[in-house]
Amino acid sequence: QIAKNGKKMPPAAIAFYKQTDYSLEDLVSKDPAVDILEEFSKKISEFKPSLIAVSSMTTNYYQSLEMIQKIRPKCKVIFGGVHPTLMPESVINEDVIDYVCVGEADEALVELCEYLDKNKDTSNIRNLYLKVKKGRKVIIIKNKLRPFVNLDTLPPPDLSIFDHRYFFRPFLGKIYKGIYMSTARGCPRGCAYCVNNRLRNIYKECGRRYIRFQSPKIIARNITYIKKKYGINWYKFSDDTFLLRPLADLLKLKKLLKPLHIMFGCSVDPVTVTEEKVKAAKEMGCVSMSMGIETGNEKIRKYVLGRNISNNQIFEAVRIMRKYNIKISTFNMIGLPGETKENIFETIKLNKKLNIPDANVYVMYPFPGTKIYEDFHISRKKFKNIPAMEEAYLFNLSNVKNEELLYFLRTFNLYLVLPEKYWQKIEKARKSPKLYTVLIQIAQEIINKNLD
C-alpha cells in the first residue's frame, strides 16, 4: 500500500490478506516526519518483496505511479482499487506495472501470490489484466471477472502489520483507539458525481449480488476478535449506506453488538433513515452519522447531481438522528457545474438551519467513470496535471471563480458556527488576517460552550 502520511485510521481491509500464508508488510512510513519516498524505497530494500500491491483512487494514483517509476523495483507490481478498475487499459500500459486487478481483489490477489510462489502461469487468473511477451510483441490479456466473493468467508483482519499509533483518533474531546471497517459492499444509487453506475456495469457479469451485506454473526465475530486482541473500541463503518440493511438484520446485529459496548460511526442516506433503524443503531453503539446533502439547491441536487432528495427529507432524517442523540456531520460540494455564489450560500444556509456544527466541504472532483466526467469530456492529460483532491477547483466546472471557491473552503464552517450578524465580517476577513483570527477565536469559544 502507498498512502500519504497522517492518515486518520489504518484501512482494515488490507489486513485481511495478513491471514494468508504469505508475508505481508505495510509499506507506509511509520514515522510521519520521514520522507515517504525514501522510507518506501528503504522498506523495499529490507523486505525484498516478490510482489508490490498498490491500491489507489484517482486522487492518489499518479502519486503512487510516480513513486514506483522513481524506484523501479525489481519485483512484480500490481495496481488495484477504484481507479485501475475504471481505467484498466491506461494503467496496464504503464511500463512499471505488471498486473491490474479489476474489481474486488480478495481472492484474485491471494491467487496471484500462490501462482507466483509456485512459478505457475498467471495469464488466466480472473480479474487480472496483465502483459505477456510473445516474440517481440507485448500482448495485453484481459481476464473475465470472477463471481462476487461471499463477505462471510473473509477472515478477521490481522492488524499487526500497522503501527498502532495510527489507531488513535479524537472524538468529542476524547481519544479513542479506532479503525475503519467494512460490513457491506455496493450502493443502489446512481449519482452523477459517483462511479457507482460504472462499477455496477463492470460487475454485470458477476451476477446480481452487487449489493451485499456481511451477516450480523460475522460482524460480531470480527469485532469481538479485534476488540479483544487489539483493544479497539471505536469503529468507522465505511459502508456506503449503513442503514441500507433490512431492519431485521439491524435488530439481529443490535443483539450481538450491544453486549460488546463499542462506539461506531457510519454514513447514511437520508432516504434510509427511519425511526426504527436509527434506534437500533444507537442501541448497538452508534454515536455519529455522516450524511451527504451535497448542495442546498434542490434543482442542482436532482438535475445536476442525480440525487432526487428533497430538503424536507433531509430535515426529517436529521430530526430522527438528533432524537437519539447521534452526532451529525454532512458532506457538501461546491464548484458544481453551473453553480453560482448564491447557490453556495444556499448550501451554507441549509446546514445552518439543520444546526450542523461539523460540515465537510469539498470542491467537486470529476472522477473518471462518472456522468459528470463524461459530460464535460475531461481529458486524461488534465488529470495528470490535477492529481490532488485539494486542486479540484482547477477543473473550472462552476460559475464561481477559483479564489472564491478557495475562500468558501476556508470559511464554510465559520459561517455555520458564527451567528449571521458576523457574516459580513467573514467577508471582510478575506483581506484581514487579524480579523480572521478574531473570528476563529469567537467560533472556538462558541464550540467549546456547546461541548460543555
Give the pLDDT confidence score for residue 11 in this predicted structure. 57
Helices within 285-431 (DSSP H only) = 298-299, 311-323, 341-353, 371-375, 380-385, 402-417, 423-428
Mean pLDDT of the chain: 89
Q: What is d(CA 122, CA 102) in angstroms, rounded to the nearest whole number? A: 15
Cell output for 36: 515517504
Strand partners, 100: 79, 129
Q: 250 and 281 in contact (C-beta within 8 Å)?
A: yes
Separation of alpha carbons 452 and 445, rounded Å:
11
Task: For residue range 160-218, list pLDDT tens digits in order.
Answer: 888 888 888 888 878 899 999 999 999 999 999 999 989 988 888 776 788 999 999 99
* Mean pLDDT of the 22-50 span: 70
Q: What is the dihedral of CA 203, 205, 208, 213, to 10 degrees?
A: -40
Confidence of residue 354 (pLDDT cuts 50, 70, 90): very high
Contact 297, 346 (CB under 8 A): yes
The domain spans of the chain are 12-142, 163-417, 418-452
Question: Any idea which fold 163-417 has?
Answer: pyruvate-formate lyase- activating enzyme (3.80.30)
Largest CA distance in the chain: 74
- Tell me: the pLDDT tens digits for 295-320? 999 999 999 999 999 999 999 999 99
Q: Give me Rg for the CA atoms of the chain.
A: 23
Mean pLDDT value of segment 128-156? 92
CATH number of 12-142: 3.40.50.280
Q: Note every long-range contact of 309-316, with CB atoms under 8 Å and residues 24 or more positions apart, other chains counting.
A: 309/270, 309/271, 311/350, 313/270, 313/271, 314/270, 314/350, 314/354, 315/353, 315/354, 316/270, 316/273
Whether 271 shows a pLDDT value over 80: the answer reads: yes
- What is the four-CA torsion angle of 364, 370, 375, 378, rounded to 10 degrees? 70
Residue 13 has a pLDDT of 57
Instruction: Band the pLDDT of 9: cuts 50, 70, 90.
Output: low
- Residue among 404, 393, 409 at smallest CA distance from 340: 404
Q: Residues of the chain with pLDDT > 90: what percent? A: 63
Handedness of CA 34, 38, 44, 45 (dihedral sign): negative
